[in-house]
Structure 1
């Protein structure tokens, strides 16, 4: 049975023709390029004529150009002959290489003129760089007036970098703390009070300090306790008249106060009674303690030289035990000397002790940019106080008050007092 799908249905003649035409139009495909024709693109009206040259024409044009250049210049060396380029057909593009050795188009006079012009321009550029403007001159004069120089300065060492993780070091606040110390040290600055003390003098004070240093060593107290003791003694003597027989009582009562303030395990009152060979009773010591505290208004948080010594020793990089012992030796010698306490503030005494110790131990340079940064003092500001410490060092072996000298002659202090005081004093005499 045959299918009727391929049998066309009979329709009226007019309609049949129209529908067949439409059907043929819909099914007819557009003619396409099937790859068997070579279509030449139409040339553009304004196209470059060089693009229309064939490969053979390119070879001929190149050969003709080579001929012209060789005849005109005469200095061109052609690596391949022109005849080889003419024989090449459309099989391969011509491969030829032209090497230009030199070109003498310019005459010698033109070259000299160009060299002269370029040299003149270079001179003009260099002269412009060397010209000093008015602003640069004023800036240089301002630097000279302010004491600024262009010399390379030593780098400032961050002495707190190693303690960044130590909470007790208070690295975030340490700079502000020492700025506050330097501001407040002038408030408690001692004046010359010996004129108001008719019964005692500077020599008696030195004898008292010498004895207190021995007591301090006997009790094995902290170094800050000694400096606070002397601060309390001097401040009290500057405020009240003290008879000679009570001077030692003021000393042991001041040390009792300092021990309660600084020490973890402070000596008891009967210990001071025994150390004074029962010269004063327990009641007398307690009464003097109350008197001192009332007179000082209980103001004990003061910047002593020790506060600055601990900081400045750290800034004296590299620091070691010998350096530390030498600094404390010189500082305690100045502590016994009344004029040093009156003339110089605690921070200057500490800085001068570091400076003199560096000179004693031969640390070069004697004063670094790091020390200048953290102390705030220049080398010239320390020379006078350091020279005084040098003279005290030279006189220590022959002095009758030998507590400091014996203390720092021991091996546990590095025997820094035995560093040849005479030679050291001679060095300072020449140096200052």
Structure 2
């Protein structure tokens, strides 16, 4: 019991702050006096909980505190000493502070001009310091932003006397509104129609206008001793009638006439075989364009058995070999589709009239050597002239055809003459076809006078 009380009294007694230091110094002094190292065990480092800064005098106990300085207690004393040191040190000037990262300039958007900036009632503490005269000084950031605005801001519009007079003159003439585009977008309603090929239609017709120069028929009547233009017109009239009886597509008819003219440009044909050439040409065109093409026996029947099956097949092979099997060519019907749309797709009567003149071009031998795009443009121009459309040739038609009115006068004059003579002509298939109710009886419309052509 006495021993326990003695230990408690010894622990409660105040201990000197340099007790550990004195003990370590005494051991080192004894070893040095002996002049020999300790062979039994190596010297150990400090494993106590007394802070090493005490030995160096880095930490001093405050007055009135007498206790051993442990590591945790030393850390608290060191932290308090650093806080007192920073509080006493004077603040560094702004210019001496190190800027680690430059501030990124943010472009000012919709910054009001000085004359447009709203006035705000701000307290002196919010807007920066004032000079001795009471004027507010701009802060460093505000000055930088004002320089930025001056550099990138838009130039102020100045109304001079000339601009004011020009504006008043335009207003007096009714030119204040922007003029509407003269070229109409004819494909604006076909954006959802995948068959219209709106994204590629311009490129397609650009290619057609280039490809129409290849594989063209020539003026072949000089090389056909037994044929004449009237015989060709008779064959064309019969082919148009046969086309109606078979209920074929328009592309088939135009391709048939092209094959006939192209073959007659390459090979001389006897008079007795001219109809055979027409039958073989329509058979080829049907196989190329139609889904359900007529058979050879159908052509034999429609020709009143004038030719046999082997004759038709031999003629078909001869035509294909002479043309080198090249059937992919633009015909006037391809351009009629595009030009009629540019002329006004909503006008049904105009559409029928255009196709009426288009088939009249097939009957006329004088249009054989004309390019298909020009033939189609002449048909559109003649149709608009017959129906007295104004203007006759719009900017939209000029854009899509690439032709002017003066380039269409000769072809339009030929078509108007054919229309005027159609009621009394011997070959009336086209006239009777477009005089029916199905096509709006456009053929019965009074023909335009030739004097209307300028």
Q: TM-score, normalised by structure 2?
A: 0.60
State the 1:237 CA deviation: 0.4
Q: Are 2:409 and 2:453, in contact at CA under 8 Å, matched by a contact in 1?
A: no
**Mapping of residues 90-169 of structure 1, within 5 Å:** 155-169=182-196
Show the counterpart of 1:379: 405
- Secondary structure of the residue that 2:317 maps to in structure 1? helix
Show the counterpart of 1:183: 210
- Say whether 1:299 aligns with 2:299: no
Show the counterpart of 1:32: none
2-side partners of 1:47 and 1:380: how far apart?
83
Q: Are 1:409 and 1:416, in contact at CA under 8 Å, matched by a contact in 2?
A: yes
CA distance 1:199–1:157, change in 2 (3 Å)? same
- Say whether 1:394 aligns with 2:416: no
Q: Are 2:218 and 2:368, in contact at CA under 8 Å, matched by a contact in 1?
A: no
Show the counterpart of 1:367: 393
1-side partners of 2:421 and 2:275: how far apart?
25
1-side partners of 2:133 and 2:398: how far apart?
81
1-side partners of 2:414 and 2:275: how far apart?
27
State the 1:369 CA deviation: 0.9
Show the counterpart of 1:284: 311
347-356 vs 185-194, which moves further: 185-194
State the 1:153 CA deviation: 7.8
Show the counterpart of 2:155: none
- Say whether 1:224 aligns with 2:246: no
State the 1:373 CA deviation: 0.9
**Mapping of residues 25-424 of structure 1, within 5 Å:** 155-342=182-369, 344-421=370-447, 424=448
Deviation readout 1:82-119 (Å, 9 max, x if unpaired) = xxxxxxxxxxxxxxxxxxxxxxxxxxxxxxxxxxxxxx
State the 1:125 CA deviation: 6.3
2-side partners of 1:407 and 1:246: how far apart?
27
State the 1:186 CA deviation: 0.9
2-side partners of 1:164 and 1:313: how far apart?
19
State the 1:319 CA deviation: 3.3
CA distance 1:312–1:430, change in 2 (3 Å)? closer
State the 1:172 CA deviation: 1.2
Show the counterpart of 1:429: 451
State the 1:345 CA deviation: 0.9
Q: Are 1:154 and 1:369, in contact at CA under 8 Å, matched by a contact in 2?
A: no
CA distance 1:361–1:47, change in 2 (3 Å)? closer
Show the counterpart of 1:111: none
> Across the two proteins, how many residue pairs are aligned to each other?
289
Q: Are 1:325 and 1:413, in contact at CA under 8 Å, matched by a contact in 2?
A: yes
- Secondary structure of the residue that 1:163 maps to in structure 2? coil
Deviation readout 1:3-52 (Å, 9 max, x if unpaired) = xxxxxxxxxxxxxxxxxxxxxxxxxxxxxxxxxxxxxxxxxxx979xxxx
State the 1:430 CA deviation: 3.5
2-side partners of 1:353 and 1:152: how far apart?
30
1-side partners of 2:216 and 2:318: how far apart?
21
Show the counterpart of 1:139: none
State the 1:157 CA deviation: 1.2
Q: TM-score, normalised by structure 1?
A: 0.63
Show the counterpart of 1:79: none
Q: Are 1:153 and 1:369, in contact at CA under 8 Å, matched by a contact in 2?
A: no
Q: Are 2:283 and 2:296, in contact at CA under 8 Å, matched by a contact in 1?
A: yes
Show the counterpart of 1:55: none
Q: Are 1:154 and 1:368, in contact at CA under 8 Å, matched by a contact in 2?
A: no
Show the counterpart of 1:147: none
Give unmatched runs, 5+ long, in structure 1. 1-45, 49-121, 131-150
Q: Are 1:253 and 1:288, in contact at CA under 8 Å, matched by a contact in 2?
A: yes
1-side partners of 2:220 and 2:282: how far apart?
20
Give unmatched runs, 5+ long, in structure 2. 1-131, 135-158, 167-177
State the 1:170 CA deviation: 1.4
Deviation readout 1:53-109 (Å, 9 max, x if unpaired) = xxxxxxxxxxxxxxxxxxxxxxxxxxxxxxxxxxxxxxxxxxxxxxxxxxxxxxxxx
State the 1:429 CA deviation: 2.0
Q: Are 2:191 and 2:198, in contact at CA under 8 Å, matched by a contact in 1?
A: yes
State the 1:200 CA deviation: 0.7
State the 1:154 CA deviation: 5.2
CA distance 1:47–1:219, change in 2 (3 Å)? closer
- Secondary structure of the residue that 2:189 maps to in structure 1? helix
CA distance 1:430–1:155, change in 2 (3 Å)? closer
Q: Are 1:333 and 1:404, in contact at CA under 8 Å, matched by a contact in 2?
A: yes
2-side partners of 1:225 and 1:378: how far apart?
29
